Each structure stands twice: as structure tokens, then as C-alpha cells.
Amino acid sequence: MKTFYVSVAFAVALVGLSSPAVAAIQLIPVVTSGITSPTFVGNAGDGSNRLFILEQAGIIDVLQPGSSTPTVFLDIRTKVKAGGEQGLLGLAFHPDYEMNGRFFIFYTRTVDGTLVIAEYGVSSGNRNLADPTEKIILTIPHPTNTNHNGGMLAFGSDGYLYIGVGDGGAGNDPPNNAQNINVLLGKILRIDVNAPGVPYVSPPDNPFVNEAGADEIFALGMRNPWRFSFDRTGQQWQQWVADVGQGSREEVDTPIVKGGNYGWRVYEGTACTNTDPSLCDPLLAKNYIFPIFDYLHTNGRCSITGGYVYRGSLNTFPAGTYVYGDYCSGEIFAWDGSTQTVQLDTTLNISSFGEDEQGELYVVHLGGSISRIASTTPCTYSIAPTSQSFISSGGTDTVAVSAGSGCGWSAVSNAPFVQVTSGMTGTGNGSVGYSVDANPSSSRVGTMTIAGLTFTVNQAGAAECTFAISPTRATFQVMGGTDSVSVTAPDGCSWTAASNATWITITNGASGSGNGTVTYSVTQYTGKPRNRNGTMTIAGQTFSIKQSR
């Protein structure tokens, strides 16, 4: 963010939003009061579906799912110098937060404005309160100006903590910090916070390890990388940095490559700043990595606020869309890989975007609100059937899912005896396959959750099954013949029929459930002695056959 305008806390007016002619998104208010100058929203990735909100003055709030009233998670206002571009600016939860409770913050220190990366932990007794014990990870002197602090923290797919640091402020980076590999200003840093016994180490493959240059640097040439994110898909998450421009161009850089030089202060976006005009020689252009796009300060635009690549399942945007905004114009943009489009033109001062655990996106208004970005045509889902009954021996079946194009869903079993065997996830219409285990005990009910809907499995239990056969015996003459046996059993109770003699053959009904019939044949008998006796085992009962010559 280039400038925090006067931070008067006012009830956010979500009225007054104007929409483009074909509005695809809308803002759903999540928090509209009780927070002052919010700078970020994010999630802990711990399955709790809570949101965490930063207030610039030095408060982290926690918001329970479904609530609109956050409560204080951590208050470090006494440590933070806030106002303008300074304050509590960044928050990242450790990838194993659910296990270790570790999280990291980025703030500007009281008195001197030094940038501080610090670690905290959740309190041992209450997951909605942080332990106030601070562990300083890294400090970066930032003595000259109050602006261009950067402020973003996020973990990459490599488990390392990435840090966006501004160039130290003023216009045109007077000390040339962003191009100086010996200072941490104007950089993307990457550190390992999992090394035992030390606050951090630099990953051994950082570009300036074992050579000139600060070991923490991952990429350089940044002006004010206020917000960046990782596209959480694929094995290696691609990093997207929105680097705030100076007087004319706002830019987005991706991917961020190790040791890459993203141009500032030689270039602002794709334009030569003429601060170091000789370096803009086209022959030297290969030294710099240019943005994938930049946009001009037209229509009141002045400061990009980086966002996220959409990977949610509600079709809020096409999958893979990069969503971001402009602090001054209030516009929310989408980049589809080739074109920037205005999705919504708001009156918000967009200080940040954020993601929930499902990958749905939020927009943060510095004036004091958090809103979820939603489609104007939300996804709807249905399943058919909604329940199924199984016999005690179990079985397999499928459930059809109906969903709009682009609407994602998942299927999980809530019962240990039911397994989802196919269609664990899908988009649009699809099918879920599942299996049900045999049930040796009493009848039972289990559910699956498919596309957010409940599917019920009813299964009979073998322990409740009683079987009777009628008749229980038969007599045949020399020529043999065919006959049948009736089985009486409760619905869902499965049984089998087997012959125990080579001269008795089951011709139909070798298995069944509930009431049924077994038919069999008896061969001709000409041997000795005069009589022979054989049996079948039907539903656990013995059926006797006597044949006389």
C-alpha cells in the first residue's frame, strides 16, 4: 500500500458499491464493526475455519466461523509504531500450526520504526488466545522514512518463510537499497524458522549463501512488495508479488525466481525510471525480470494491493484467476493470464485480500470492514439418491452429484464402515462410488457428506438375523427330480445355500437376502445300498434328502 489515508474508523458503507454492467461478484459483509484499520485477514490452516484479522495498531483478532464479532487473540500495541504505512502488517501461521501453535508477525517497532519479524505461539489452554511471549526472529533497520516497509509474510511449499520488504522509503529509492545485495530492504527474503537452537537460518540454496550478498535474500529489485501470495496448487506453489509503484505504474511479478532481479529502481513496472538511465540500455534488459503486467495510474488508481490466485470451490472466479485490487480506486481486478478486468468498483480502501481455509477470498477495507467475495450466482448442489439400504454382507453403489459448471465439491465418509472409493472430489456433475463393509453385529446407520449434503447408509446387522427353512427334508425315488425350499429371513439378512452331496445340485437361489427360494435337483440313483442320504446347508440350516432305489 502506498499510503494509508487518514484512518478514520467509520462504519463501512457497503452501500454505494457500484457494479460493472455484468457483475459476476458481490461482497458479503463479514465484519463491519469493532475493528480499527484492519490490514490483513487470513486463516490458521488448522481445520478450525476461523479467520484472523490484523489491526494496524497492533491487535490480532480471531473470528469464529459464522460470527461477525471478532475477539482479541493478541494485543501488542505497546510494541508497535502505527500510522501511515506503519503498524502490524503481516501474519503467517506455521504450516504445522495445528500441531505446534507457532505463528509469525511483521510489524514496525515503536520509536525507531525498525521492521520486526517475531514469533509467537498459541496459549496452552485456549486456542483463541495467543501466548504474549515474543521471540524476535529478525529485525531490519528502517530508520529514514516511514513508508515502504513491505509487510507480507507467508510460507511457501518448501516450508520456508518468505518476507516482503520495502525499499526504505522516499522517492526513487535514494540509497539504491533495492539493487544492493548487502541490505535486506527492497527484497523478497526467505528464511528457515525450523532450525533447532537459533531463531532462523538461511536455506543453503538461497542465492547469496557462500558468496557476496545477504544470505536471507531470495529475490531483489522490489519497491514495496506490500502483498504477495502463493498459488496453492501443484507441487511448487507459484509466488505472485504485487509491487507497489511510484508515480505511474503498478505491477505484478510472477513467478518469483531465486536470485531474480525485478527491476526497481531502474524500472517502475515496464518503464525506465531514468534514475539510472544507462542501465535501461536494451542490451542490459536481460538483467531484469519484468512484470507479467503493469497498469497505469488512470481512473484514480494509485497503489496495487496484491491478492490471491483463486482456488476455491464455489466458482467465485474461474480456477486460476489472480484476484487483486487498487487501494485508491477501490477496484477489485481479475487477471486471467492475459487481460485485466474490473470485477467490482467499490468505495473501499483495499488494504489487503485474504483467504479462508476453503480458498474463498476476502477483501479488507482499511476503514474497518472485512467482506467475503462471492459469486452473484452461487453454486448449488444436489445428490441422488439421498440414502441407500444395504444387507448385512455389505456391498457397493454410487451416488450422482448435480452441480453447476465450475462448481467444485468433495465426498467424505463419516462412518468407518463406509468407504468412498471414487469421486472424492469433482467439479460440475459427477458420481461418487462407495463401499459398505459386512456387518456382523446389529443394524447400523452411517453417513457420507457429499457436496455439503448428507447421504445416509442403512445396513442390517447379521446378529439380528434369524433364518428358517421350509420344508426341512425331502424324499426322492430312483429317478430323482427337482424341488424347492423356502427361506424366511428379515429384510437385509443375507444367506447362502450350498450342497453337501455331489448328487444334489442347487439350480437357483445359491444366495439371497430376506425371504427367498432355493431350487435344487437330485440325480437318478441305481447304486447300492438301497438308500442314500445327503444334505444341503441353507441359511445355516440343514436340509436333508433321502433317495430310495
Interaction with Ca ion in 421-460: which residues (CB under 5 A)?
A: none
The three-point CA angle 360-363-364 to 5° equals: 135
Matching residue, cell 505461539: 121
How crowded is residue 185: how many other Cβ atoms within 10 Å of its Cβ? 25
Q: Write the DSSP assignment of 219-231 as a string of letters.
A: EE--S---EEEEE
Which CB, 45 or 213, lies closer to Ca ion? 213
Distance in Å, CB of 305 to Ca ion, minimum: 16
CA–CA separation, 261 vs 517, rounded Å? 81
Q: Which stretch binds Ca ion (CB under 5 A): 13-21, 52-60, 255-263, 295-303?
A: 255-263
Q: In whole angstroms, what is the distance from residue 373 CA to residue 30 CA?
A: 10
* Residue 163 Cβ vs Ca ion, minimum distance, rounded to whole Å: 17
225 cis-preceded (ω within 30 degrees of 0):
no
Closer of 208 and 503 to Ca ion (Cβ): 208
Query: Strand 249-253 and strand 238-243: pairing?
Result: antiparallel
Of residues 199 and 406, the one with the C-beta less far from Ca ion: 199
Closest approach of Ca ion to the CB of residue 229, in Å:
17
Which of 199, 24, 178 lies closest to 102, judged by CA? 199
Instruction: Output the smallest distance, CB 289 to Ca ion, in A.
Output: 8
Nearer to Ca ion, 267 or 308 (CB): 267
Under rule CB under 5 A, residue 381 binds Ca ion: no
Q: What is the DSSP letter of 181?
A: T
DSSP symbols for 361-393? EEEEETTTEEEEEEESS---EEEE-SEEEE-TT
- The beta strand positions in 80-226, using DSSP E, are 88-93, 102-108, 115-122, 130-140, 153-155, 161-165, 187-191, 217-220
520 binding Ca ion? (CB under 5 A) = no
Stretch that binds Ca ion, among 9-17, 131-139, 259-267, 419-427 (CB under 5 A): 259-267
The answer to whether 262 contacts Ca ion (rule: CB under 5 A) is yes
CA distance linking residue 355 with residue 309, whole number of Å:
10
Residue 454 pairs with which residues in a beta bridge?
A: 449
- DSSP element (H, E) containing 100: helix 97-100
Residue closer to Ca ion, measured from CB, 225 or 368: 225
Select from 52-60, 263-271, 334-342, 373-381 the region that touches Ca ion (CB under 5 A).
Answer: 263-271
Residue linked to cell 453385529? 441
Residue of minimal Cβ distance to Ca ion: 263
Q: In angstroms, what is the minimal distance from the CB of 191 to Ca ion? A: 13
Residues in contact with Ca ion, shown as a per-residue x/- string from 56 to 95 under the rule CB under 5 A: ----------------------------------------
215 is a contact residue toward Ca ion (CB under 5 A): yes
Closer residue to Ca ion, CB minimum distance, 208 or 381: 208
CB of 280 to Ca ion, least distance (A): 13
| Candidate residues 38, 84, 186, 263; the one interacting with Ca ion per rule CB under 5 A | 263
Distance, CA of 161 to CA of 409 (rounded, Å): 31
96 binds Ca ion (CB under 5 A): no
Work out whether the CA dihedral 294, 300, 306, 308 comes out positive or negative. Answer: negative
Selected range binding Ca ion among 153-161, 262-270, 353-361, 386-394, rule: CB under 5 A: 262-270
What's the one-letter identity of residue 478?
V
Q: Which residue number, 89 or 222, has a Cβ lying nearer to Ca ion?
A: 222
Q: Give the residue with the Cβ less far from Ca ion, 65 or 277.
A: 277
Pairing of strands 187-191, 217-220: antiparallel
Question: How near is the Cβ of 215 to Ca ion at its closest, in Å?
Answer: 5
Q: Whole-angstrom Cα distance, residue 218 to residue 158?
A: 13
Contact (CB, 8 A) for 468 and 488: yes
Q: How far apart are CA 268 and CA 325, in angstroms?
A: 18
User: Which residue number, 202 or 413, has a Cβ lying nearer to Ca ion?
Assistant: 202
Q: How far is the CB of 209 from Ca ion (least distance, A)?
A: 6
- Whichever of 213 and 461 has its CB closer to Ca ion, that residue is 213
Closer to Ca ion by CB, 90 or 207: give it.
207
CB atoms within 10 A of CB 179: 21
**For Ca ion, the closer CB: 76 or 219:** 219
Least spacing, CB of residue 266 vs Ca ion, in Å? 9
Of 175 and 213, CB closest to Ca ion: 213
In sequence order, the 6+-apart residues with CB closer than 8 A to the CB of 56 are 4, 7, 36, 37, 38, 39, 82, 83, 87, 88, 89, 366
Q: Does 285 bind Ca ion (CB under 5 A)?
A: no
Query: Which region, judged by CB under 5 A, interacts with Ca ion, from 105-113, 168-176, 212-220, 368-376?
Result: 212-220
CB of 337 to Ca ion, least distance (A): 19
Q: How many residues bind Ca ion (CB under 5 A)?
A: 5
Q: Evaluate whether 153 touches 104 at the Cβ level (below 8 Å).
A: yes
Pick between residue 118 and residue 222 the one whose CB is nearest to Ca ion: 222
129: DSSP letter = S
- Show contacts with Ca ion in window 191-210 (CB under 5 A): 208
166 interacts with Ca ion by CB under 5 A: no
3-state secondary structure of 241: strand
Minimum Å gap between C-beta 148 and Ca ion is 14
Measured from the CB of residue 320, what is the shortest distance to Ca ion in angstroms? 23
Query: Of how many residues is the chain composed?
Result: 549
Minimum separation from the CB atom of position 208 to Ca ion (A): 4
Query: Could you list the residues that contact Ca ion (CB under 5 A)?
Result: 208, 213, 215, 262-263
